[in-house]
Amino acid sequence: MKDVYITRISKILPNDPISNDKMEEVLGKINGKPSRAKRIVLRNNGIKQRYYAINSDGDITHTNAKLTQEAIVKLFDDEFTQSNMELLCCGTSSPDQLLPSHAAMVHGLLANRNLEINSASGICGSGMSALKFGFLSVKSENSNNAVCTGSERSSTRMLAGMFEEEASMIDALEKEPIIAFKKEFLRWMLSDGAGALLLENKKNEKGISLKIDWIEGYSFAHELETCMYSGGEKLEDGTIKSWTEYNSKEWLEKSIFSVKQDVKILDAHIITKGVESMEMVFQKHDKDPSDIDYFLPHISSQYFAEKLKKGLREKGLKIPEGNWFTNLDKVGNVGSASIYLMLEELLMSGILKKGDKIMLTVPESGRFSYTHAHLTVC
What does residue 361 show for φ and ψ, rounded to 5 degrees? -135, 125
Reported confidence tier of residue 103, pLDDT bands at 50, 70, 90? very high
| pLDDT at 167 exceeding the cut of 70 | no
Taking the mean position of all CA atoms in its chain, how far away is CA 230? 15
Q: Angle at the Cα of 18 (from 40 to 124), degrees rounded to 5?
A: 70
pLDDT tens digits, 169-212: 655 544 544 455 667 788 999 999 999 999 999 999 999 999 99
Residue 131 near residue 151 (C-beta atoms within 8 A)? no
Question: Is residue 90 pLDDT above 80, yes or no?
Answer: yes
Label residue 263 by pLDDT band (50, 70, 90).
confident
Quick one: pLDDT at residue 177? Answer: 43
Q: Which pLDDT score is estimated for 161?
A: 81
Mean pLDDT, to the nearest integer, of 224-250?
A: 96
CB 373 within 8 A of CB 359: yes
342 vs 33, residue with greater confidence? 342
Across residues 66-86, what is the average pLDDT?
97
Q: What are phi and psi of 107, to 5 degrees?
A: -60, -40
Residue 17 above 60 pLDDT? yes
Indicate the SS3 state at residue 36: coil
Q: Which are the contacts of 122, defined by CB distance < 8 A and separation ≥ 6?
A: 91, 93, 129, 336, 364, 366, 369
Radius of gyration of the chain (CA): 21
What value does the mean pLDDT take over residues 217-243?
97
- pLDDT > 80? residue 78: yes
Q: pLDDT digits over 333-365, tens only?
A: 999 999 999 999 999 999 999 999 999 999 999
| Cα–Cα distance, 324 to 359 (Å, whole number) | 10
Per-residue model confidence (pLDDT) at position 31:
80
* pLDDT tens digit sequence for 318-332: 999 999 999 999 999
pLDDT given for residue 186 in this prediction:
86
Return all residues near 52 (Cβ < 8 A) that are at least 6 apart. 14, 15, 18, 26, 27, 155, 191, 192
pLDDT of residue 94: 97
Domains of the chain in start order, with CATH, are 5-207 (3.40.47.10), 212-377 (3.40.47.10)
Q: What is the pLDDT of residue 201?
A: 98
Question: How would residue 166 be classed by pLDDT, with cut points 50, 70 and 90?
Answer: low
The whole-number pLDDT of residue 180 equals: 59
pLDDT above 90 covers a percentage of the chain that reads 85
Please state the rounded mean pLDDT for residues 261-281: 95
Residue 285: pLDDT over 50: yes
85: confidence class by pLDDT, cuts 50, 70, 90:
very high
